[in-house]
Amino acid sequence: RSLIGIKKISEESVLAEDMGSRIMVFVRLRPLGKKEEESGARSCVRIDNKKDVYLTEYALEKDYLRLKRVRGRHFCFDASFPESTSQQEVYSTTTAELVEGVLQGRNGTVFCYGATGAGKTYTMLGTLDNPGVMVLAIKDLFSKIRQRSYDGNHSVLLSYLEVYNETVRDLLSPGRPLVLREDKQGIVAAGLTQYRAYSTDEVMQLLQQGNRNRTTEPTRMNETSSRSHAILQVVAQYQARDLDSVGTRVGKLSLIDLAGSERALATEQRTQRSIEGANINRSLLALSSCINALVEGKRHIPYRNSKLTQLLKDSLGGACNTVMVANISPSSLSFNETQNTLHWADRAKEMRNKASDANEEASHAPESETDQTKLLLELQMEN
Ligand code: ADP
Ligand code: MG
Protein backbone atom coordinates (compact mmCIF):
# COMPACT_ATOMS: atom_id res chain seq x y z
CA ARG A 1 0.00 0.00 0.00
CA SER A 2 2.78 2.39 0.85
CA LEU A 3 4.42 1.74 -2.51
CA ILE A 4 1.29 2.80 -4.29
CA GLY A 5 1.14 5.83 -2.02
CA ILE A 6 4.65 6.88 -2.95
CA LYS A 7 4.03 6.39 -6.62
CA LYS A 8 0.90 8.45 -6.48
CA ILE A 9 2.63 11.33 -4.74
CA SER A 10 5.57 11.39 -7.12
CA GLU A 11 3.27 11.31 -10.13
CA GLU A 12 1.34 14.20 -8.69
CA SER A 13 4.49 16.19 -8.08
CA VAL A 14 5.72 15.57 -11.59
CA LEU A 15 2.36 16.64 -12.91
CA ALA A 16 2.44 19.70 -10.69
CA GLU A 17 5.92 20.62 -11.97
CA ASP A 18 4.83 20.12 -15.55
CA MET A 19 1.83 22.34 -15.15
CA GLY A 20 3.87 24.99 -13.40
CA SER A 21 1.95 24.99 -10.15
CA ARG A 22 4.17 27.47 -8.37
CA ILE A 23 2.71 30.86 -7.67
CA MET A 24 3.21 33.29 -10.51
CA VAL A 25 3.89 36.84 -9.43
CA PHE A 26 3.33 39.85 -11.65
CA VAL A 27 3.66 43.56 -11.09
CA ARG A 28 1.51 46.17 -12.76
CA LEU A 29 2.49 49.81 -12.72
CA ARG A 30 -0.32 52.31 -13.28
CA PRO A 31 0.21 55.64 -15.02
CA LEU A 32 0.99 58.75 -12.96
CA GLY A 33 -2.26 60.67 -12.48
CA LYS A 34 -2.73 64.35 -13.45
CA LYS A 35 -3.36 65.38 -9.85
CA GLU A 36 -0.23 63.60 -8.69
CA GLU A 37 1.84 65.37 -11.30
CA GLU A 38 0.36 68.72 -10.30
CA SER A 39 1.18 68.10 -6.66
CA GLY A 40 4.84 67.71 -7.50
CA ALA A 41 5.07 63.93 -7.56
CA ARG A 42 7.47 62.34 -9.97
CA SER A 43 7.76 58.79 -11.16
CA CYS A 44 9.99 56.63 -8.96
CA VAL A 45 9.44 53.32 -10.76
CA ARG A 46 10.81 52.11 -14.08
CA ILE A 47 10.07 48.82 -15.78
CA ASP A 48 12.49 47.27 -18.26
CA ASN A 49 12.33 44.16 -20.44
CA LYS A 50 8.80 43.46 -19.17
CA LYS A 51 10.41 41.88 -16.10
CA ASP A 52 12.71 44.20 -14.19
CA VAL A 53 11.39 46.80 -11.78
CA TYR A 54 13.66 49.64 -10.63
CA LEU A 55 12.50 51.59 -7.62
CA THR A 56 14.22 54.88 -6.84
CA GLU A 57 14.05 56.72 -3.56
CA TYR A 58 14.16 60.49 -3.73
CA ALA A 59 14.64 63.04 -0.99
CA LEU A 60 14.38 66.81 -0.95
CA GLU A 61 17.62 68.73 -1.43
CA LYS A 62 18.71 71.05 1.38
CA ASP A 63 17.04 73.94 -0.43
CA TYR A 64 13.71 72.03 -0.28
CA LEU A 65 13.19 72.80 -3.94
CA ARG A 66 14.66 69.89 -5.77
CA LEU A 67 14.51 66.13 -5.40
CA LYS A 68 17.71 64.15 -5.37
CA ARG A 69 18.09 60.43 -5.93
CA VAL A 70 18.98 58.65 -2.69
CA ARG A 71 19.20 55.00 -3.69
CA GLY A 72 17.70 52.44 -6.01
CA ARG A 73 16.41 48.89 -5.69
CA HIS A 74 15.91 46.22 -8.28
CA PHE A 75 13.26 43.48 -8.39
CA CYS A 76 12.45 40.88 -10.98
CA PHE A 77 9.12 39.09 -11.50
CA ASP A 78 7.56 36.57 -13.86
CA ALA A 79 6.42 39.59 -15.81
CA SER A 80 6.13 43.26 -14.99
CA PHE A 81 3.69 45.47 -16.82
CA PRO A 82 4.64 49.08 -17.57
CA GLU A 83 2.07 51.92 -17.55
CA SER A 84 1.06 51.44 -21.16
CA THR A 85 0.07 47.77 -20.86
CA SER A 86 -3.44 46.97 -22.08
CA GLN A 87 -6.07 45.14 -20.04
CA GLN A 88 -6.05 42.36 -22.64
CA GLU A 89 -2.30 41.85 -22.30
CA VAL A 90 -2.56 41.70 -18.52
CA TYR A 91 -5.33 39.13 -18.83
CA SER A 92 -3.52 36.99 -21.43
CA THR A 93 -0.27 36.88 -19.50
CA THR A 94 -1.67 36.36 -16.01
CA THR A 95 -4.97 34.52 -16.21
CA ALA A 96 -5.66 32.89 -19.59
CA GLU A 97 -3.82 29.72 -18.59
CA LEU A 98 -5.86 29.41 -15.41
CA VAL A 99 -9.09 29.63 -17.39
CA GLU A 100 -7.88 26.69 -19.48
CA GLY A 101 -7.08 24.85 -16.23
CA VAL A 102 -10.55 25.47 -14.83
CA LEU A 103 -12.04 23.75 -17.88
CA GLN A 104 -9.81 20.77 -17.06
CA GLY A 105 -11.16 20.75 -13.49
CA ARG A 106 -8.28 22.55 -11.77
CA ASN A 107 -8.95 25.34 -9.28
CA GLY A 108 -7.10 28.60 -9.57
CA THR A 109 -6.84 31.97 -7.85
CA VAL A 110 -5.82 35.40 -9.06
CA PHE A 111 -5.49 38.19 -6.59
CA CYS A 112 -4.62 41.84 -6.83
CA TYR A 113 -2.58 43.13 -3.94
CA GLY A 114 -1.48 46.69 -3.27
CA ALA A 115 -2.21 49.99 -1.59
CA THR A 116 -5.45 51.90 -2.14
CA GLY A 117 -5.28 53.76 -5.43
CA ALA A 118 -2.63 51.47 -6.91
CA GLY A 119 -4.99 50.05 -9.57
CA LYS A 120 -6.44 46.82 -8.13
CA THR A 121 -10.07 47.46 -9.07
CA TYR A 122 -9.04 48.77 -12.47
CA THR A 123 -7.11 45.56 -13.08
CA MET A 124 -9.82 43.24 -11.81
CA LEU A 125 -13.07 44.91 -12.84
CA GLY A 126 -11.96 47.71 -15.16
CA THR A 127 -14.42 50.00 -16.91
CA LEU A 128 -17.08 49.52 -19.61
CA ASP A 129 -14.57 50.63 -22.27
CA ASN A 130 -11.66 48.78 -20.73
CA PRO A 131 -12.96 45.68 -18.98
CA GLY A 132 -10.54 43.99 -16.59
CA VAL A 133 -9.47 40.46 -15.74
CA MET A 134 -12.83 39.37 -14.27
CA VAL A 135 -14.76 40.20 -17.41
CA LEU A 136 -12.07 39.07 -19.87
CA ALA A 137 -11.76 35.73 -18.06
CA ILE A 138 -15.48 35.05 -18.36
CA LYS A 139 -15.47 36.14 -22.00
CA ASP A 140 -12.60 33.77 -22.72
CA LEU A 141 -14.30 30.98 -20.80
CA PHE A 142 -17.43 31.33 -22.93
CA SER A 143 -15.45 31.32 -26.15
CA LYS A 144 -13.48 28.22 -25.09
CA ILE A 145 -16.71 26.48 -24.12
CA ARG A 146 -18.26 27.31 -27.48
CA GLN A 147 -15.32 25.63 -29.21
CA ARG A 148 -15.89 22.43 -27.26
CA SER A 149 -19.64 22.35 -26.83
CA TYR A 150 -19.89 19.25 -29.05
CA ASP A 151 -18.58 16.94 -26.33
CA GLY A 152 -20.97 17.74 -23.49
CA ASN A 153 -22.80 20.35 -21.47
CA HIS A 154 -20.96 23.17 -19.80
CA SER A 155 -22.41 25.60 -17.34
CA VAL A 156 -20.89 28.71 -15.78
CA LEU A 157 -21.96 29.77 -12.31
CA LEU A 158 -20.95 33.11 -10.81
CA SER A 159 -20.85 34.18 -7.19
CA TYR A 160 -19.60 37.56 -6.05
CA LEU A 161 -18.94 38.13 -2.40
CA GLU A 162 -17.29 40.54 -0.03
CA VAL A 163 -15.30 40.05 3.13
CA TYR A 164 -15.47 43.21 5.20
CA ASN A 165 -14.64 43.38 8.86
CA GLU A 166 -14.60 39.56 8.99
CA THR A 167 -18.18 39.48 7.73
CA VAL A 168 -19.04 37.73 4.48
CA ARG A 169 -21.74 39.27 2.28
CA ASP A 170 -23.35 38.31 -1.00
CA LEU A 171 -22.72 41.12 -3.49
CA LEU A 172 -25.26 39.77 -5.99
CA SER A 173 -28.05 39.65 -3.45
CA PRO A 174 -27.24 41.93 -0.55
CA GLY A 175 -28.76 41.09 2.77
CA ARG A 176 -27.77 39.41 5.94
CA PRO A 177 -24.19 38.20 6.42
CA LEU A 178 -23.44 34.71 5.18
CA VAL A 179 -22.27 31.91 7.42
CA LEU A 180 -19.32 29.77 6.33
CA ARG A 181 -19.81 26.03 6.63
CA GLU A 182 -17.55 23.11 5.97
CA ASP A 183 -19.06 20.35 3.87
CA LYS A 184 -17.77 17.61 1.59
CA GLN A 185 -16.81 20.08 -1.13
CA GLY A 186 -14.91 22.28 1.30
CA ILE A 187 -15.86 25.58 2.86
CA VAL A 188 -19.04 27.09 1.45
CA ALA A 189 -20.94 30.27 2.23
CA ALA A 190 -24.44 29.07 3.06
CA GLY A 191 -27.11 30.65 0.84
CA LEU A 192 -24.66 32.35 -1.53
CA THR A 193 -26.20 33.24 -4.91
CA GLN A 194 -24.93 31.19 -7.82
CA TYR A 195 -25.85 33.06 -10.93
CA ARG A 196 -25.95 31.00 -14.10
CA ALA A 197 -24.40 33.15 -16.82
CA TYR A 198 -25.04 32.64 -20.52
CA SER A 199 -23.22 35.54 -22.12
CA THR A 200 -20.47 38.07 -21.41
CA ASP A 201 -22.73 41.05 -21.99
CA GLU A 202 -24.77 40.51 -18.87
CA VAL A 203 -21.68 39.92 -16.75
CA MET A 204 -20.16 43.42 -16.75
CA GLN A 205 -23.46 44.92 -15.59
CA LEU A 206 -23.86 42.26 -12.95
CA LEU A 207 -20.38 42.88 -11.59
CA GLN A 208 -20.68 46.66 -11.66
CA GLN A 209 -23.91 46.39 -9.70
CA GLY A 210 -22.16 43.99 -7.33
CA ASN A 211 -19.34 46.47 -6.88
CA ARG A 212 -21.84 49.18 -5.96
CA ASN A 213 -22.98 46.83 -3.21
CA ARG A 214 -19.53 46.78 -1.67
CA THR A 215 -19.22 48.44 1.70
CA THR A 216 -18.44 52.16 1.46
CA GLU A 217 -16.59 54.36 3.91
CA PRO A 218 -19.09 56.30 6.02
CA THR A 219 -17.20 59.51 5.33
CA ARG A 220 -16.87 59.04 1.58
CA MET A 221 -20.14 57.53 0.48
CA ASN A 222 -19.23 57.06 -3.15
CA GLU A 223 -15.97 55.31 -2.62
CA THR A 224 -15.61 51.65 -1.94
CA SER A 225 -14.04 50.99 1.40
CA SER A 226 -10.39 50.22 1.06
CA ARG A 227 -10.91 47.60 3.76
CA SER A 228 -13.21 45.44 1.67
CA HIS A 229 -12.11 42.31 -0.19
CA ALA A 230 -14.20 41.37 -3.25
CA ILE A 231 -14.14 37.78 -4.46
CA LEU A 232 -15.61 36.60 -7.75
CA GLN A 233 -15.98 32.84 -7.94
CA VAL A 234 -16.41 31.39 -11.40
CA VAL A 235 -17.40 27.75 -11.36
CA ALA A 236 -17.27 25.85 -14.65
CA GLN A 237 -19.17 22.57 -14.63
CA TYR A 238 -18.92 20.04 -17.38
CA GLN A 239 -21.19 17.08 -17.93
CA ALA A 240 -20.33 14.55 -20.61
CA ARG A 241 -23.14 13.70 -23.03
CA ASP A 242 -22.20 10.09 -23.03
CA LEU A 243 -22.59 9.02 -19.43
CA ASP A 244 -20.05 6.24 -19.90
CA SER A 245 -17.24 8.66 -20.66
CA VAL A 246 -15.44 11.07 -18.35
CA GLY A 247 -18.62 12.07 -16.50
CA THR A 248 -18.57 15.37 -14.69
CA ARG A 249 -15.80 17.85 -14.04
CA VAL A 250 -15.85 21.00 -11.94
CA GLY A 251 -13.24 23.75 -11.80
CA LYS A 252 -13.31 26.96 -9.83
CA LEU A 253 -11.54 30.22 -10.53
CA SER A 254 -11.42 32.82 -7.75
CA LEU A 255 -10.67 36.39 -8.81
CA ILE A 256 -9.95 38.64 -5.87
CA ASP A 257 -9.73 42.40 -5.46
CA LEU A 258 -8.04 42.58 -2.06
CA ALA A 259 -8.39 45.35 0.49
CA GLY A 260 -5.76 48.08 0.45
CA SER A 261 -2.53 46.74 1.89
CA GLU A 262 -1.45 50.04 3.50
CA ARG A 263 -3.68 49.71 6.54
CA ALA A 264 -2.72 46.15 7.27
CA LEU A 265 0.32 47.48 9.04
CA ALA A 266 -0.62 51.02 9.92
CA THR A 267 -3.69 50.23 12.00
CA GLU A 268 -2.28 47.25 13.82
CA GLN A 269 0.76 49.26 14.76
CA ARG A 270 -1.29 51.62 16.85
CA THR A 271 -3.61 49.67 19.12
CA GLN A 272 -5.84 46.65 19.17
CA ARG A 273 -8.72 48.93 20.04
CA SER A 274 -9.88 49.62 16.56
CA ILE A 275 -11.76 46.38 15.99
CA GLU A 276 -12.51 47.24 12.41
CA GLY A 277 -8.86 47.90 11.69
CA ALA A 278 -7.82 44.75 13.48
CA ASN A 279 -10.29 42.69 11.52
CA ILE A 280 -9.21 43.90 8.16
CA ASN A 281 -5.73 43.02 9.18
CA ARG A 282 -6.91 39.63 10.16
CA SER A 283 -7.77 38.59 6.60
CA LEU A 284 -4.76 40.22 4.96
CA LEU A 285 -2.40 39.04 7.69
CA ALA A 286 -3.84 35.55 7.53
CA LEU A 287 -3.28 35.54 3.78
CA SER A 288 0.32 36.60 4.39
CA SER A 289 0.72 33.82 6.96
CA CYS A 290 -0.67 31.22 4.55
CA ILE A 291 1.65 32.40 1.80
CA ASN A 292 4.57 32.38 4.23
CA ALA A 293 3.72 28.82 5.29
CA LEU A 294 3.49 27.76 1.66
CA VAL A 295 6.79 29.50 0.87
CA GLU A 296 8.45 27.59 3.68
CA GLY A 297 6.90 24.31 2.54
CA LYS A 298 5.12 23.81 5.87
CA ARG A 299 2.68 20.94 6.11
CA HIS A 300 0.18 22.92 8.09
CA ILE A 301 -1.23 25.95 6.33
CA PRO A 302 -3.21 28.21 8.73
CA TYR A 303 -6.28 28.69 6.55
CA ARG A 304 -8.61 28.88 9.53
CA ASN A 305 -7.36 32.21 10.84
CA SER A 306 -9.66 34.40 8.75
CA LYS A 307 -12.76 34.38 6.56
CA LEU A 308 -10.74 35.19 3.44
CA THR A 309 -8.32 32.31 3.89
CA GLN A 310 -11.13 29.89 4.76
CA LEU A 311 -12.82 30.79 1.49
CA LEU A 312 -9.54 30.25 -0.35
CA LYS A 313 -8.73 26.93 1.27
CA ASP A 314 -9.41 24.85 -1.84
CA SER A 315 -7.86 27.41 -4.17
CA LEU A 316 -4.50 28.31 -2.66
CA GLY A 317 -1.62 25.89 -2.48
CA GLY A 318 -1.73 22.25 -3.42
CA ALA A 319 -2.43 21.43 -7.02
CA CYS A 320 -3.97 24.85 -7.62
CA ASN A 321 -2.70 27.60 -9.83
CA THR A 322 -2.09 30.82 -7.99
CA VAL A 323 -1.44 34.19 -9.57
CA MET A 324 -0.65 37.35 -7.76
CA VAL A 325 -0.74 40.76 -9.39
CA ALA A 326 0.97 43.39 -7.27
CA ASN A 327 -0.38 46.79 -8.23
CA ILE A 328 1.85 49.81 -7.74
CA SER A 329 1.68 53.54 -8.30
CA PRO A 330 4.69 55.30 -9.87
CA SER A 331 4.29 58.34 -7.61
CA SER A 332 7.27 59.31 -5.46
CA LEU A 333 4.68 60.27 -2.81
CA SER A 334 3.68 56.58 -2.56
CA PHE A 335 7.26 55.36 -2.30
CA ASN A 336 6.83 53.52 1.03
CA GLU A 337 3.68 51.69 -0.03
CA THR A 338 5.23 50.73 -3.35
CA GLN A 339 8.33 49.43 -1.58
CA ASN A 340 6.20 47.35 0.83
CA THR A 341 4.16 45.91 -2.01
CA LEU A 342 7.28 44.96 -3.96
CA HIS A 343 8.79 43.29 -0.86
CA TRP A 344 5.64 41.28 -0.33
CA ALA A 345 5.53 40.23 -3.97
CA ASP A 346 9.20 39.30 -3.88
CA ARG A 347 8.55 37.03 -0.91
CA ALA A 348 5.48 35.43 -2.50
CA LYS A 349 7.57 34.62 -5.57
CA GLU A 350 9.41 31.96 -3.60
CA MET A 351 6.29 29.94 -2.98
CA ARG A 352 6.10 26.57 -4.65
CA ASN A 353 2.85 24.75 -4.31
CA LYS A 354 3.58 21.29 -3.13
CA ALA A 355 0.70 19.13 -4.25
CA SER A 356 1.55 16.20 -1.99
CA ASP A 357 2.01 18.30 1.15
CA ALA A 358 -0.96 20.56 0.87
CA ASN A 359 -3.35 17.73 0.05
CA GLU A 360 -2.85 16.12 3.40
CA GLU A 361 -3.47 18.91 5.81
CA ALA A 362 -3.59 16.73 8.88
CA SER A 363 -3.92 18.99 11.86
CA HIS A 364 -7.27 20.51 12.69
CA ALA A 365 -6.16 22.05 15.93
CA PRO A 366 -7.07 25.72 16.29
CA GLU A 367 -4.21 27.87 15.11
CA SER A 368 -2.35 30.06 17.50
CA GLU A 369 -2.04 33.73 16.77
CA THR A 370 1.68 33.47 17.37
CA ASP A 371 2.61 33.00 13.72
CA GLN A 372 0.60 36.02 12.73
CA THR A 373 2.09 38.12 15.47
CA LYS A 374 5.58 37.04 14.50
CA LEU A 375 4.94 37.98 10.91
CA LEU A 376 3.52 41.32 11.93
CA LEU A 377 6.61 42.06 14.00
CA GLU A 378 8.86 41.11 11.12
CA LEU A 379 6.98 43.43 8.83
CA GLN A 380 7.12 46.24 11.35
CA MET A 381 10.86 45.81 11.73
CA GLU A 382 11.22 46.16 8.00
CA ASN A 383 9.47 49.50 8.02
P1 ADP B 1 -7.48 50.53 -6.12
O2 ADP B 1 -8.63 49.64 -6.46
O3 ADP B 1 -6.18 49.78 -5.97
O4 ADP B 1 -7.75 51.40 -4.92
P5 ADP B 1 -8.15 51.82 -8.61
O6 ADP B 1 -8.22 50.63 -9.48
O7 ADP B 1 -9.47 52.36 -8.16
O8 ADP B 1 -7.23 51.55 -7.32
O9 ADP B 1 -7.28 52.92 -9.36
C10 ADP B 1 -7.12 54.25 -8.90
C11 ADP B 1 -7.29 55.22 -10.08
O12 ADP B 1 -6.29 55.01 -11.06
C13 ADP B 1 -8.62 55.04 -10.80
O14 ADP B 1 -9.08 56.30 -11.20
C15 ADP B 1 -8.27 54.20 -12.01
O16 ADP B 1 -9.15 54.40 -13.07
C17 ADP B 1 -6.86 54.66 -12.32
N18 ADP B 1 -6.05 53.55 -12.90
C19 ADP B 1 -5.58 52.50 -12.22
N20 ADP B 1 -4.86 51.69 -13.01
C21 ADP B 1 -4.87 52.25 -14.24
C22 ADP B 1 -4.29 51.89 -15.51
N23 ADP B 1 -3.56 50.77 -15.66
N24 ADP B 1 -4.51 52.71 -16.54
C25 ADP B 1 -5.23 53.84 -16.40
N26 ADP B 1 -5.80 54.23 -15.24
C27 ADP B 1 -5.63 53.45 -14.17
MG1 MG C 1 -10.45 49.39 -5.35
Tell me the average confidence (pLDDT) per consecutive run of 10 residues in the chain, 383 residues long: 36 40 87 91 94 91 78 94 98 96 92 95 95 97 86 89 94 94 86 93 91 81 81 92 72 95 57 50 86 83 93 83 95 93 89 42 38 41 37
Nearest atom of ligand 1 to the alpha carbon of 116: 4
Q: Cα–Cα distance between 135 and 126 in angstroms, integer?
A: 8
Chain centroid, CA 241 distance in Å: 35
Neighbours of 206 (CB within 10 A): 19
Instruction: Evaluate: CB of 211 within 6 angstroms of ligand 1.
Output: no
Q: What is the pLDDT of residue 297?
A: 80
Question: How are beta strands 52-60 and 67-76 bridged, if at all?
Answer: antiparallel
Q: Cα–Cα distance between 82 and 175 in angstroms, integer?
A: 40
Ligand nearest to the CA of residue 230, numbered in listed order: 2
- Cα of 73 from ligand 2 centre, angstroms: 27
Instruction: Evaluate: CB of 117 within 6 angstroms of ligand 1.
Output: yes
DSSP reduced 3-state for 23: coil
Pure H helices in 236-367: 262-270, 275-295, 307-311, 335-348, 355-358
Nearest partner of 212 among 278, 160, 279, 153, judged by Cα: 160
| E strand or H helix that includes residue 373 | helix 370-382
ipTM higher than the 0.95 cut: yes
Nearest atom of ligand 1 to the alpha carbon of 115: 3
| Residue 115 labeled ligand binder | yes
Residue nearest atom 17 in ligand 1 by C-alpha distance: 119
